[in-house]
């Protein structure tokens, strides 16, 4: 079983940057996909960025602004978010897919002021 802990959320002005971190522990080896999802208020959770065996995928809304990366030695996934806009405000969740089972972190709030 994989446990995920996110950090790095907070309040930022529009145009600013944040870096989210997701530390994974437990049975991390053999992980298929690691990624970030966001859930804006009143909306469904949606994929932001993911690292798969086939490469990296981004939601169209964040391409060119967000970058996902992974430090395998630290079992940590990062999401660098630049040029943040008010519509990026959401709870951001780290997710790990392994053996058909998805593990979720507790989420970290990102607030963007205009």
* pLDDT digit string, tens, across residues 16-75: 999 999 999 887 777 779 999 999 999 999 999 999 989 999 999 999 999 999 998 999
Angstrom distance (rounded) from CA 113 to CA 95: 26
User: Do residues 103 and 95 lie in contact, with contact meaning Cβ atoms separated by under 8 Å?
Assistant: yes
Closest CA to 22 of 40, 32, 35: 35
DSSP reduced 3-state for 107? coil
Q: Reply yes or no on whether the pLDDT at 80 is more than 80.
A: yes
Residue 113 predicted with pLDDT over 90: yes
């Amino acid at each position: 079983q994989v446990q995920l802990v996110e950090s790095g959320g907070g309040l930022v002005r529009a145009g600013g940057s944040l870096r989210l971190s997701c530390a994974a522990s437990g049975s991390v080896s053999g992980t298929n996909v690691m990624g970030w999802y966001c859930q804006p208020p009143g909306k469904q959770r949606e994929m932001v960025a993911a690292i798969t065996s086939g490469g990296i995928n981004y939601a169209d809304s964040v391409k060119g602004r967000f970058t996902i990366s992974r430090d395998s030695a630290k079992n940590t996934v990062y999401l660098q978010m630049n040029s943040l806009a008010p519509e990026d405000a959401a709870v951001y969740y780290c997710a790990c897919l392994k053996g058909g089972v998805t593990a979720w972190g507790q989420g970290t709030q990102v607030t963007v002021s205009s």
